[in-house]
Amino acid sequence: MLFQLSEEQLMIQQAARDFAQHELKPGVIERDEHQKFPAEQVKKLGELGFLGMMVSEKFGGSGLDAVSYVLVMEELSKVDASASVVVSVNNSLVCYGLEAYGSEFQKEKYLKPLASGQQIGAFCLSEPEAGSDATSQQTTAEDKGDYYLLNGTKNWITNGSNASTYLVIAQTHPDLKHKGINAFIVEKGMEGFTIGPKENKMGIRGSDTHSLMFNDVKVPKENRIGEDGFGFKFAMKTLEGGRIGIAAQALGIAAGAYELALAYAKQRKSFGKPIAEHQVIAFKLADMATSIEAARMLVYKAAWLKDQGLPYTLAGSMAKLYASKVAMDVTVEAVQVHGGYGFVKEYHVERLMRDAKITQIYEGTSEIQQMVISREILR
Query: Which residues are designated catalytic?
Result: 363
Helix H, strand E, coil C: the string for the chain is CCCCCCHHHHHHHHHHHHHHHHHHCCCHHHHHHHCCCCHHHHHHHHHCCCCCCCCCHHHCCCCCCHHHHHHHHHHHHCCCHHHHHHHHHHHHHHHHHHHHHCCHHHHHHHHHHHHCCCCCEEEECCECCECCCCCCCCCEEEECCCEEEEEEEEEEEECCCCCCEEEEEEECCHHHHHHHEEEEEEECCCCCEEEEEECCCCCCCCCCEEEEEEEEEEEEHHHEECCCCCHHHHHHHHHHHHHHHHHHHHHHHHHHHHHHHHHHHHHCEECCEEHHHCHHHHHHHHHHHHHHHHHHHHHHHHHHHHHCCCCCHHHHHHHHHHHHHHHHHHHHHHHHHHHHHHHCHHHCHHHHHHHHHHCCCCCCCHHHHHHHHHHHHCC
